[in-house]
Structure 1
Amino acid sequence: MASGQAADMSLMDISKIFSLLQPKEEDEDGEQCQALNDAVSGDNAALLSELLSQEGYRRCINAHSGWGVPVTPLRTAAALGHLKCVEVLLEHGAEIDSLDVKAQTPLFTAVSGKHLDCVVALLKAGADPNGSPYNNCSPLLTAAREGDVDVLRELLRFGAEVDVRPKVPEWASNATACRGPLYISAVYGHLDCFRLLLLRGANPDYNCTDQKMLARIKQPKTVLEVCLRYGCGVEYIQLLIDFGADVFLPTLIIDKTTKQNEALLLLLKERVCPKTLMSETRLAIRRYIPVAIKEPAIDRLDIPLILKNYLKHATSELG
């Protein structure tokens, strides 16, 4: 009997949830909201502009509507990649960082859909490049996972946190909480994103500097160790070395099953061969420059172009 009651209650709870997600028929602004959504869904920017010229429709510009997961017109336009509609809605005062029931902002959905033009439009209009603090993921983590280097570049240009972590409660923290953009781009094999993140100041020893994290996780993995374990290739190892990763952090277990590949040999060689003075100087200068202004600051230095390019890793060594 008790189990039957529990099942009934579960069904009742599920029914209640679905009823809450359905649009309210008695909503007096329902027709206006639907008209806005139809215009956005159909990518009809002219009609959308005409509707928003009327007070009744402007009241609904930030309304959440639609069956299932109610969303704002701006969220719909961003998710579908309808740039003109995004621009019209922003011109008429749409709330740029409005949240849906998943705590996703319009920018987050534009990044997920790989709609670069919408991403740029939202960022220029003032969207938070880090997304919502209430969502576990972030636009930058999403772009790194998808390997969308152009979207990643724009997010970083507008101030996205380069070493952002998934947002999970402290009591739920585990190794997953360590998986930042650099880690994810390596695991998914996105070398261009991996390099861009390092250029924009990502910590090459990510996972091994946060004392609170170290206290909760028994064996945190450095990005260098992850690259070795996933067979990311020598290019990833070389980049981490060039950007100052501590080559002594990974614990290497050499046995009969260990593949002696080029990447591992490169790391072992680096452990016994010190960096050149030029490499150490480049690392020291880059560490001194704040993450947010590395590229502009380097361009303003009163030094020859060849040295600027070296500081920006456009050339590997100077002859």
Structure 2
Amino acid sequence: MSLMDISKIFSLLQPREEEDEEGQLCEEMNRAVSGDDAPLLARLLAQESYRRCINCRSGWGIPLTPLRAAASRGHLGCLEVLLQHGAEVDSLDVKAQTPLFTAVSGKHLDCVVALLKAGADPNGSPYNNSSPVLTAAREGDVEVLQELLSYGAEVDARSKVPEWATNATACRGPLYISAVYGHLDCFKLLLLHGANPDYNCTDEKMLGRIKQPKTVLDMCLRYGCGVEYVQLLVDFGADVYLPTLIVDKTTKQNEALVLLLKERVHPKTLMSQTRITIRRHLPFANKEPVIERLDIPQILRKYLNHVALNI
């Protein structure tokens, strides 16, 4: 390669003058966001030149849009200013993470709510391997999880892997994750919103490609999640005959295992079977609001929502 060719390549790699100017303007906005200075940010965005750069990226490592920076830091005032001036709500960074994803990761509930109200996709980006729901379930953030589900997030979300890499871990959705990490409130909330109590996966093709897929019950018993997790799965209609149990004299008889064995020999009550059947036939995954709109007595709504009844 000649010296002339090398010089030409370097000249192409140099940013254009307008791009350099945009980067400087974006840097100024990001500094305002970093200092949580919403009034300064509003003054900047009052100028057309800054509004044109509102979705530009700047910074070392992972270049950030101002909205992504505000969401990751939990700076609600700046985030609202940016949204009011037309910032792209689902802009992606180099990891294919949306501002909502970073707000969920940082446990910034107020920013999560603001982004969802502004139209952010509650499922994050299809190009990212994880999702906001999986993150909230892992962190045990039940308030954030509630908001995501109320805006229609996929309750059985799973890590995205190519077909050739499909294995048992691909079925480890938010229900499984919340159990393994010991987040009982999230576990129940997911079931209330229609999570699959068996495989935590609704992709039949994927299940067919996995050799001996493990159920959520299997995992709860394996990781010693406690009897309350198994009881919830039973109450929400998990198939108690799916787990492969090898029970002999050496098997540790914990409460969860005893409960499962008991359920295998005692049929469910008619009330319990009716509740499971009604919930399965509700038209939406977001079960709670649907139940509240049913024209039935309040005591039956509570029963369908698994609220303890003082009878």
1:114 corresponds to which letter in structure 2?
K
1:226 aligns with: 219
Q: What is the correspondence of 1:102-141 to structure 2 with a 5 Å cutoff?
A: 102-141=95-134
- Corresponding residue to 2:240 among 247, 252, 271: 247
Could you tell me which of 68, 72, 80 is aligned with 1:79?
Answer: 72
Structure 2 portions without partners, runs of 5+: 1-12
| Range moving further from structure 2, 203-212 or 273-282 | 203-212
Q: How does 1:12-51 map to 2 (within 5 A)?
A: 27-51=20-44
1:207-243 deviation digits (Å, cap 9, x = unpaired): 5764322332212110011000000000000000000
Q: Which segment is superposed worse, 299-308 or 33-42?
A: 299-308
Q: Offset of 1:193 from its aligned partner?
A: 0.2
Letter in 2 for 1:161: E
Instruction: Provide closer, same or farther for how the CA distance between residues 53 and 290 of structure 1 changes in structure 2, counting only shifts above 3 A.
Output: same
Which aligned pairs between 1:49-64 and structure 2 lie closer than 5 A? 49-64=42-57
Contact kept? 1:129, 1:158, Cα under 8 Å? yes
1:187 to 177, 180, 184: 180
Aligned counterparts of 1:159 and 1:236: Cα–Cα separation in 2: 24
Per the alignment, residue 144 of structure 1 pairs with 137
User: Within 5 Å, which residues of 2 pair with 1:161-310?
Assistant: 161-207=154-200, 210-310=203-303
Is 2:151 the partner of 1:158? yes
Distance 1:207 1:38 in 2: 43
With over 3 angstroms needed to count, the CA separation of the structure-2 counterparts of 1:166 and 1:293, relative to structure 1, is: closer
- Separation in 2, partners of 1:310, 1:228: 27
Aligned partner of residue 225 in structure 1, secondary structure: helix
Match of 1:16 in 2: none
TM-score, normalising length from structure 2?
0.92
Cα separation, 2, equivalents of 1:147 and 1:184:
9
C-alpha contact 1:97 1:127 (8 A) present in aligned 2? yes
CA shift, 1:58, in A, is 0.9
Secondary structure of 2:21's aligned partner: coil
Question: Aligned with 2:61: secondary structure?
Answer: coil
Q: How far, CA to CA, are the matches of 1:132 and 1:44 in structure 2?
A: 29
Once residues 185 and 249 of structure 1 are traced to their aligned partners in structure 2, the CA distance between those partners, rounded to angstroms, is 21
What are the superposed Cα offsets for residues 11-35 of structure 1, whole Å, 9 maximum, x if unpaired?
A: xxxxxxxxx9x99997122221111
Q: Which is further off, 65-74 or 299-308?
A: 299-308
CA 23–188 in structure 1, closer or farther in 2 if over 3 Å, else same: farther
Q: Which moved more, 1:212-221 or 1:269-278?
A: 212-221
Which ranges of structure 1 fall in alignment gaps of 5 or more residues? Answer: 1-19
Check conservation: 1:36, 1:48, Cα contact below 8 A. Answer: yes
CA displacement at 1:294 relative to structure 2: 2.1
Cα separation, 1, equivalents of 2:126 and 2:90: 11
TM-score by length of 1: 0.89
Aligned counterparts of 2:243 and 2:155: Cα–Cα separation in 1: 22
Is 1:311–2:304 an aligned residue pair? yes
For 1:116 and 1:176, how far apart are their aligned partners in 2?
29
Task: Quote the Cα distance in structure 2 between the aligned partners of 1:50 and 1:237.
Answer: 55
Distance 2:211 2:24 in 1: 56
Would the aligned equivalents of 2:149 and 2:286 in 1 still touch at CA under 8 Å? no
Q: Which residue of 2 aligns with 1:98?
A: 91
What percent of counterpart residues are identical?
79
- Partner Cα distance (2:200, 2:288) in 1: 25
Opposite residue 262 of structure 1, the aligned amino acid is E
Counterpart Cα distance in 1 of 2:69 and 2:216: 36
Cα deviation digits, residues 114-144 of structure 1 (max 9, x gap): 0000000000000000000000000000000
Task: Report the Cα distance in structure 2 between the residues aligned to 1:131 and 1:47, rounded to whole angstroms.
Answer: 29
Deviates more, 1:141-150 or 1:294-303: 294-303
CA distance in 1, matches of 2:157, 2:293: 28
Q: Which residue type is aligned with residue 242 of structure 1?
A: D
Letter in 1 for 2:143: D
